[in-house]
Amino acid sequence: MTDLVLLIAWHVVLGIALALAVWGIGLGALRIARISGEPLLAYGVGLALALLAALLFLARWWLFPLSLLLVLPPLVELGRGGLPGRELATRLARSLPGAAGLAAVLGLLLHGPTRTLQSHAYGDLTFFATRQVSAAHSVLPFRDYLAEGLHTTYVESAPALLGGALSRGLPVDPFLFQTSSLPAFAFVALAIGFSLGGLRSPVAGGSFVLLLVAAVIYPTWLVESPPVALALPLGFSLYALWRDRLGLWPLAGITAALAWDLVLTKGLALAVLGLVVALAFVRHHGRLLRGRSALVAAAVGVAAVATAIVFLQATAGWLISLLEPKLLPRTAYEGIRAQFTVRSVQQLAPALELAGETFLLVAVVRARLMLPLAATVLAIGATWFVGGHVQDITLSLAIVLTVVALVDDAEAARRARPWLTAAALALAAMAWVRDPASLRPAFVALTFACAASVGALGAGRSAAFTVGAACVVGVALAGARGLTDARTTLTPDDRAIWQTVRERVPPTALVFTSLTGPRISGEEGWNYYPGVARRQVYLAGWANSPLRVDPASLRERLANNRAVLGGSLAAVRLELSRRYSAFYAVVRRREPAPPSSRLVYENERYALYRLQ
């Protein structure tokens, strides 16, 4: 346990340093480009440059000097021009304990398995962890280690790019980077943004704290979907793009940088970017929308939308096919009705979300601010009528934009205060009960997130005292009963078998495993943990691949996998994407050994064989 705590502490420091670096790169780049007066744009620019540098470095080792040219000159320029002063240091000092506490809680809750400790990591977390392992090895091709012949998408690959690039020179655990580094990054980056923008909450400070926490939708969403941590601070750049007048070329450049950021973080948020750019253009350059110029602007807008659709369809079209219609009011009604029989607080989340978004809409109408109003309407349209988690980013950014805009306009905040309070209470309650990790760990995580938000917003002493008391209660509760009662998902034996695969199976070999199947569960379609071995598996986790929307191909793969493990089909007879030097199999120890195979390694749960 001591080793794990030290590792978590290291990854928290890594996340804090990364947040400072991204903002620093952006500030220096804006100075080099002579775009002054709006530091809130810096995060979007800095993240775009950092991601491009990471991509180039991972693509080819000899591009590393070019990567340095993208990030070092802005940092040098920042040092020459002087660093932000005392206010930034104060905000960081106040927000760091909460950010570090949140990162530590999530790391202790969802770390990967160790030699002695079991793990509660599951589903998409293991997917993003193994994606980082793949990126550290190669992004050209960006191989999917869990499905032979398939490649993972570049959409939402920002955590994999940053973590993969850092892991080439630093000790970076693929699980703890997602569970600890990125949550710490998110709240430190938010604190920097509020400080650089001179944004403090003299009105409705407690409401803003709760809203900022609710922007994560629920605490472990930061871990289930790590790109969210990188996407949330983009709200500052989106707000600055709308608030402040930029020339046409700077506007185009910043828009391109933000589009790049959103493709690599949360692709559906491109709709929010399109909305912001349209409002900004009309607000600051509306005089150009006359006659032929209006037609040209419309053509450019249509071309940009078409390009985005074509790109997303070409790179991640199967993800788009997962979107489905829903009706949130109906789901909310069913959840309330279920309380008379099921008593599941998680089923109350839709009703709380419905109420919170409605109150938020009324608040921004009362505030009479166009950008938060438009963003909230877009979020309501997406979250009320589109199924799945992917659309939640629209609500996250709507909340961030609302908080930033109202903190920047105290009079508007006073007009909206009662409805803002109602929205904050409803959405914060939603974030608590919706978390699949259960109420106890969610409460502990949320109290630390509140502490980080209090420091970031520069809220008053009463809010800080209340949150501090809640943190003490949360820590005491966690210490008395533990963070979670959830079942174990990964064990030291899981770690041992796939560590052995990495050490004893040649990189040019192909591995078959019985640890897959037709269901989307941790032991079948969501079994991404084998990817940590960095060896190609014929089929394991497939829920985040095109196989999810191609049932015929999935059935064929599963049948071939069973045939190879059962000995009725030789692996060399399969149609594979490339030639392999050898074939291996990982099966449960209680299962029969594949025919004509040689035992290489076994532990209490699993065995590794070489197929003859």
Name residue 414's amino acid. R
d(CA 241, CA 280): 7
Q: Which residues contact 168 (CB under 8 A, 6 or more apart)?
A: 57, 58, 136
- Give the mean model confidence (pLDDT) for residues 139-143: 91
One-character DSSP codes across 147-172: BTT-B--STT-HHHHHHHHHHTTS--
* Start-end of H helices in 60-157: 64-81, 86-110, 123-137
What is the distance between the alpha carbons of residues 597 and 188, in angstroms, rounded to a whole number? 53
Residue type for position 611: L
pLDDT digits (tens, 9 = 90+) for 66-77: 999 999 999 999
Q: What is the pLDDT of residues 409-442, one digit of tens each?
A: 989 999 999 999 999 999 999 999 999 888 888 9
The mean pLDDT of 231-253, rounded to a whole number, is: 92
pLDDT, mean of residues 20-45: 91
What's the rounded Cα separation, in Å, for the pair 49 and 267?
18
Structure tokens at 222: 């930061």
Helices marked H in 435-550? 439-457, 461-481, 492-504
Describe the strand order of the beta sheet including 536-537 as a list of residue ranges. Answer: 536-537, 510-513, 583-588, 606-611, 597-602
**pTM, full prediction:** 0.92
What is the arithmetic mean of pLDDT over 87-116?
91
Categorize the per-residue pLDDT at 312 as very low, low, confident or very high, splitting at 50, 70 and 90: low
pLDDT in tens, 259-306: 999 999 998 888 899 999 999 988 888 777 665 555 555 665 556 655
Task: Work out the average pLDDT over 162-185.
Answer: 96
Residue 88, pLDDT score = 87
150: left (phi over 0), alpha (psi -120 to 50) or beta: beta
Residue 259's H or E segment, with its range, is: helix 248-264
The secondary structure of the chain in percent helix, strand, coil, rounded to multiples of 5, reads 70, 5, 25
C-alpha separations of 186 from 62, 84, 276 in Å: 31, 19, 22
Q: Tell me how far apart the alpha carbons of residues 129 and 600 are, in angstroms, rounded to a whole number.
A: 26
C-alpha–C-alpha distance, residues 423 and 380, integer Å? 13
Give per-residue pLDDT as tens, 532-564: 999 999 999 999 888 988 999 999 999 999 999
Q: How confident is the model at residue 306, as a pLDDT?
A: 59
| pLDDT 10s digits, 319-371 | 665 667 888 999 888 888 887 777 778 889 999 999 999 999 999 999 999 99
- Rounded Cα distance, 575 and 556, in Å: 12
Alpha-carbon distances, residue 497 vs 146, 502, 506, 514, 603 (angstroms): 16, 9, 15, 13, 7
